[in-house]
Amino acid sequence: EKGGWSSFMRKEVAEQPEAVQKTILGRAVDGKVVIPELEAFGDDRLRDIHRITVVACGTASYAGLVAKYAIEQWARIPVEVELSHEFRYREPVLDEHTLVVSISQSGETMDTLMAVKYAREQGAKAISICNTQGATIPRESDAVVYTHAGPEVAVASTKAFVAQITALYLFGLHLARVRGTLDDAALAENLAELQAIPEKLEAVLGESDGVAQLAHWMADTRSVLFLGRHVGYPIALEGALKLKELAYIHAEGFAAGELKHGPIALIEPGQPVFVVVPSPRGSQNLHPKVVSNIQEIRARGARVIAIAEEGDAAVLPFADEVVRIPLAAPLFEPLLAVVPLQVFAMELAEAKGLDVDQPRNLAKSVTVE
């Protein structure tokens, strides 16, 4: 079943361009998003929503955090992202104008399932983003938008993550059209950005050797930090989770803006820090802020590995290593920037002789509380 690959994870990392492409397939028509599965749910109900609460666990919750930025920007609806196991124990405020969007690769995660059931009992509507046809969570929801990543066998989620972001972006563009918050030109432009991702992912995968080499050099590392900002922040969290679960290395992801509020105290000479650098072309002008974060940690001896877009020269004087990703509109960068972090964790785990498909203590789907 591994089809010549040394592990399922390696195979699934390589399948990411296809996972994105198949998730878009049939849902992009003449520059517009069409999601047939949402027809029965109805556009009127989508217009009637006042806010969205995303419920998910682990990597799926980070896909939700990425999508929060895009959906709020495009559809102008407040989006909150909650870990499923926290959500249902805090008496969340819900009503018929709340849309709960669950995200689950397996569709069987107990906490997410219970969160969906609870939300519907309180009168909220529920849409699920799921990779497994006919799973329990979609059956318990009002509608489902499937990700078409194909079966994900390795415990560490990779291709399901990029497919989840893809499905959520399609959903966000659909919402923006229904609610009239983006015009046709903006819808078509964003959809074209999404459709260009598979080819760019191929390019990122083709450049993985440098990251693999870095991971092998760093096989003895005991702690790695990850920084990101805006959509790069959830990617920092995801990079840290991958490293923990695959290589059993202590890792933390931080929002770069938090550095001065505590985490910078962790920086000592030799501390490796991955920094997901926002595009210098972004409208919010976050790039110089993150470059100055890099300078601050470098001055304290950090070993900086920057994930930066092609042509971004500002990082060169301060980063020890630069991993390049192709140009993409800022909201779409997470789909590319996550790949070197997945590869880094996988290669480092392999360098330590660990089983990347079945890390210790973990199950592919967590069907108990």
Residue with smaller CB distance to ligand M6R, 53 or 279: 53
Q: Taking CB under 6 A as the criterion, which residues in 125-164 touch ligand M6R?
A: 155-157
CA 298 to chain centre: 27
What minimum distance in Å lies between the beta carbon of 124 and ligand M6R? 19
Q: Taking CB under 6 A as the criterion, which residues in 71-130 touch ligand M6R?
A: 104-106, 109, 112
Q: Taking CB under 6 A as the criterion, which residues in 227-256 touch ligand M6R?
A: 241, 245
Q: Of the ranges 54-62, 186-194, 204-212, 334-342, which one interacts with ligand M6R (CB under 6 A)? A: 54-62
Q: Is 358 in the site for ligand M6R (CB under 6 A)?
A: no
Rounded distance, CA 268 to CA 308, Å?
A: 23
Residue 336's nearest CA partner among 154, 164, 191, 201 is: 201
Active site residue 159: no
When binding is defined by CB under 6 A, the residue of 60, 163, 273, 339 that contacts ligand M6R is 60
- Would you say 345 and 247 are in contact if contact means Cβ atoms under 8 Å apart? yes
Residue with smaller CB distance to ligand M6R, 241 or 256: 241
Residue 148's nearest CA partner among 21, 271, 246 is: 21
Give me the catalytic one of 32, 117, 352, 364. Answer: 364
Residue with smaller CB distance to ligand M6R, 104 or 271: 104
Residue 327's nearest CA partner among 317, 318, 337 is: 337
Rounded distance, CA 127 to CA 143, Å?
A: 5
Residue with smaller CB distance to ligand M6R, 16 or 109: 109
3-state helix, strand, coil in the chain (%, to 5): 45, 15, 35
Residue with smaller CB distance to ligand M6R, 153 or 266: 153
Q: What is the rounded end-to-end Cα distance, in angstroms, of the chain?
A: 31
Residue with smaller CB distance to ligand M6R, 112 or 190: 112
What minimum distance in Å lies between the beta carbon of 65 and ligand M6R? 13
Q: Which residue is it, tokens 């959500």?
A: 87
Q: Which residue is it, tokens 């969906």?
A: 116
What minimum distance in Å lies between the beta carbon of 105 and ligand M6R? 3
Residue with smaller CB distance to ligand M6R, 244 or 324: 244
What minimum distance in Å lies between the beta carbon of 313 and ligand M6R? 34
What minimum distance in Å lies between the beta carbon of 330 and ligand M6R? 25
When binding is defined by CB under 6 A, the residue of 23, 59, 141, 293 that contacts ligand M6R is 59
Rounded distance, CA 322 to CA 335, Å?
A: 18
What minimum distance in Å lies between the beta carbon of 367 and ligand M6R? 9
When binding is defined by CB under 6 A, the residue of 58, 64, 234, 278 that contacts ligand M6R is 58
Cα separation values, 328 from 67, 184, 278, 333, Å: 16, 20, 11, 6
Q: Give the x-and-dash track for 192-231 against ligand M6R (CB under 6 A).
A: ----------------------------------------
Q: Taking CB under 6 A as the criterion, which residues in 33-52 touch ligand M6R?
A: none
Size of the site for ligand M6R (CB under 6 A): 16
What minimum distance in Å lies between the beta carbon of 169 and ligand M6R? 17
**Length of the chain in terms of residues written:** 369
Contacts 24+ apart (CB under 8 A), 19-22: 19/147, 19/148, 19/149, 19/150, 19/159, 19/160, 19/162, 19/163, 19/166, 20/162, 20/163, 20/166, 20/194, 20/197, 20/198, 20/201, 20/335, 21/198, 22/148, 22/149, 22/150, 22/163
Rounded distance, CA 86 to CA 108, Å?
A: 17
- CA triple 103-109-110, angle to 5 deg: 125
Residues that bind ligand M6R (CB under 6 A): 57-60, 104-106, 109, 112, 155-157, 241, 245, 365-366
Q: Which residues are designated catalytic?
A: 364
